[in-house]
């Protein structure tokens, strides 16, 4: 199997430049209405009870000061970066229907709460990445609202693309009469070919970077096909902060956007797909994953996982691999535990794969305490965090996430070291990360019976002295036997291990 790292013989100037901080980050994705709320943010009365079942249109009242008040929890967990779902003024609980790109939603505390949150995060060394929804706006966005009032006479009519007037914004039984994201009346598509629209969005991107954010996660960016749009976006925000992280929501192979002139990375759903399918195997619940932009059903064996991972790692230059946003689930997917039919071991094994893989790992809020929720209804994967119900927490899972995050933080080789798959079989897979004299081996058995992994020692680390030290284990004990020529691991069912193979360990 091939080793993946910086290309030998190629100068650093020839490789794309990605933000260095991302390579060392551990992200936590927050859906703002559902994570935490503060008594310091005044709220209207018609909110759903925090612990009630979520609905499609109701609000729970989570806000940004609630995030501030939970930073101790996040820092204790080991989180160093937060990716927020949209925070701008909107008329939807998910806020992908933007009304005002310059105002934080008043239910979240407004711009003052944002400033306090950003300062509090930065004081703790926690980075903040916002969700940029630039392909489409909403019926409440001021130019579109003017068109609803004035029809073809509106001065803003060219900001969108109409086929009929008056626009049909609310009768969902008939076409909207304008371009909208996947035909949804509530999401009119912006005409980014229009110079004023393009400039407006560029200035939005610049404004929040100047205000101090550390990056943009770009919603459905492949829908914007205006030539040069994302190249200009990158140039302008990077001129303000060269370390600004630009990560696109593209679910498939993304080479056209990852040549160093547009995005730093994408949400790495091809990795997600492979990790779910291998960790869960036959446990993948088909109904929880169909109809989305990835295909983790049916489960796969270790050889197929190796093939998929090699394909993923061959796609992009190494600096981009190290900046990829790796995830196991998100607000757009079923939660992992529901995908895995409640099997906690599947989540632990997949998380071990993610935290030892090149790229920045991202934990979807609540996964670490065992939140569940399945599609096809998005509301179930966006439940409120059960702060006041510790009896609902899987404390063992929480401890696992804290430990696996600590594993990555303790070993730079797991963040920036070379990556090489060194073993693959029906139930097992093993990979090596290396950085200087440090060599860390991750081995996984996703099968339901014990398996032996037998590897030629000189094919792993020629300079090592034969010793091994266990630094992390899932469902152990894993017995390691090294006779100098071969390394043999006796892996219990559904187990994983990270071994330090460095000389003198």
Active site amino acids: 219, 249
- CB half-sphere exposure, 448, CA atoms < 13 A: 5
Listed residue (87, 106, 104) closest to 96, CA to CA? 87
Structure tokens at 131: 């969700």
How far is residue 157's CA from residue 150's CA, in Å, rounded to a whole number?
9
Structure tokens at 270: 């091809």
DSSP string computed for 13-78: GGSPP--GGGGG--EEEE-HHHH---TTS---S-PPPTTSPP-SS------HHHHHTTHHHHHHHT
Say whether 232 sits in a helix, a strand or coil. Answer: helix
Cβ-contact 344, 335 below 8 angstroms: no
- Strand (E) or helix (H) holding 401: helix 395-410
How far is residue 435's CA from residue 419's CA, in Å, rounded to a whole number?
10
Say whether 434 sits in a helix, a strand or coil. Answer: strand
Listed residue (120, 319, 325) closest to 212, CA to CA? 120
Structure tokens at 465: 């002295």
Q: How do beta strands 360-364 and 325-327 pair?
A: parallel
How far is residue 488's CA from residue 240's CA, in Å, rounded to a whole number?
52
Cβ-contact 393, 58 below 8 angstroms: no
User: DSSP H helical segments within 192-339, as ranges?
Assistant: 195-210, 229-240, 269-280, 302-313, 318-321, 336-339
């Amino acid at each position: 199997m091939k080793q993946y790292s910086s290309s030998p013989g190629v100068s650093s100037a020839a490789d794309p430049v990605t933000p260095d901080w991302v390579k060392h980050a551990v992200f936590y994705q927050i859906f703002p209405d559902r994570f935490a709320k503060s008594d310091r943010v005044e709220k209207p009365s018609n909110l759903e009870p925090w612990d009630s079942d979520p609905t499609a249109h109701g609000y729970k009242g989570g806000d940004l000061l609630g995030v501030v008040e939970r930073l101790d929890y996040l820092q204790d967990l080991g989180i160093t970066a937060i990716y927020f779902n949209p925070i701008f003024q909107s008329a939807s609980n998910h806020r992908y229907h933007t009304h005002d790109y310059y105002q934080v939603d008043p239910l979240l505390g407004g711009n003052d709460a944002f400033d306090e949150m950003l300062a509090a995060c930065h004081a703790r060394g926690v980075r903040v990445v916002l969700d940029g929804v630039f392909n489409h706006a909403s019926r409440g966005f001021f130019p579109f609202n003017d068109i609803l009032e004035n029809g073809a006479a509106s001065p803003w009519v060219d900001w969108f693309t109409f086929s009929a007037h008056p626009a049909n914004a609310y009768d969902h039984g008939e076409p909207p009469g304008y371009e909208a994201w996947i035909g949804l009346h509530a999401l009119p598509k912006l005409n980014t070919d229009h110079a004023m629209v393009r400039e407006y969005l560029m200035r939005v991107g610049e404004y929040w970077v100047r205000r101090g954010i550390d990056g943009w996660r770009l919603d459905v960016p492949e829908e914007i096909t205006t030539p040069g749009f994302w190249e200009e976006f990158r140039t302008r925000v990077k001129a303000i902060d060269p370390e600004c992280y630009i990560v696109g929501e593209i679910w498939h192979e993304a080479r056209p956007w990852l040549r160093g002139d547009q995005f730093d990375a994408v949400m790495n759903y091809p990795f997600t797909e492979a990790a779910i399918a291998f960790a869960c195997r036959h446990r993948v619940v088909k109904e929880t994953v169909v109809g989305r932009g990835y295909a983790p059903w049916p489960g796969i064996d270790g050889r197929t996982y190796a093939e998929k991972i090699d394909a993923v790692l061959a796609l992009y230059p190494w600096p981009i691999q190290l900046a990829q946003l790796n995830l196991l689930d998100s607000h757009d997917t079923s939660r992992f535990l529901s995908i895995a039919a409640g099997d906690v071991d599947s989540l632990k094994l997949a998380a071990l794969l993610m935290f030892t893989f090149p790229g920045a790992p991202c934990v979807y809020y609540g996964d670490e305490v065992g939140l569940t929720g399945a599609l096809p209804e998005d509301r179930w994967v966006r439940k409120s965090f059960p702060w006041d119900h510790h009896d609902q927490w899987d404390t063992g899972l929480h401890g696992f996430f804290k430990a696996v995050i600590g594993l990555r933080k303790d070993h730079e080789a797991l963040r920036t070291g070379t990556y090489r798959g060194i073993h693959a079989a029906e139930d097992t897979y093993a990979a090596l990360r290396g950085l200087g004299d440090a060599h860390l081996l991750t081995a996984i058995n996703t099968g339901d019976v014990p398996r032996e992994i037998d590897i030629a020692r000189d094919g792993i680390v020629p300079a090592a002295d034969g010793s091994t030290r266990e630094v992390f284990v899932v469902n152990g004990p894993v017995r390691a036997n090294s006779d100098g020529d071969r390394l043999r691991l006796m892996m219990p069912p559904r187990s994983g291990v990270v071994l330090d193979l460095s000389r003198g360990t």
